[in-house]
Amino acid sequence: MLPSTEPPSRKTKRARNGDGKFFVTFPYPYVNGRLHLGHSFSLSKCEFAVGYQRLLGKKCLFPFGFHATGMPIKACADKLAREMEEYGCPPVFPEDDAGDEVSKMPPATRHEALLKSKAKGKKSKAAAKTVAAKYQWQIMQSLGLSDAEIAKFA
């Protein structure tokens, strides 16, 4: 759709009458992972859309992080506190005996099993974001935080 050719004063009057409104929001990223280029790409799409709609004479509202409550962060802090109560600080987690069966196989069999698992085709983006950690403490260690820093979050 091309912008209209009517003078800017008419566009402004039309927008003030309530004919042209545009609303977009973008949630701020939570602290459960590192920021990456995908965050800025998504934000730039919202910002571009708002700018374009303003050029069309619409009244625009762009509240950044309007709907976030912080509950995921609180839940992670509570989970850390439970882990510290149960396993100590820094925690000593029990070993998982039912862990990775592939690593227990002989090298030749392991290679065949790995080739078969590749045929299932894991999504590369999902695989890159997946952390093999079971506990919240381990997830935070994978982000590069020291044990002393992690304890402060609980």
User: What's the pLDDT tens digit per position in 78-95?
Assistant: 999 999 999 988 888 888
Q: Please say whether the beta carbons of 83 and 134 come within 8 A.
A: no
Average pLDDT, the chain: 74
Most confident of 49-63, 70-84, 113-127, 136-150: 49-63
What is the residue range of 12's domain?
8-61
One domain, residues 77 and 123: yes
One domain, residues 18 and 78: no
One domain, residues 52 and 86: no
Task: Domain count for the chain, please give it.
Answer: 2
**Cα dihedral 72, 77, 83, 85 sign:** negative
pLDDT band at residue 112 under the 50/70/90 scheme: low
Q: How far is CA 149 from CA 72, 84, 138, in A?
A: 19, 13, 13
Residue 71 has pLDDT above 90, yes or no: no
Q: How far is CA 130 from CA 29, 38, 127, in A?
A: 17, 16, 5
Q: Can you name the residues that pair with 59 across neighbouring β-strands? A: 21
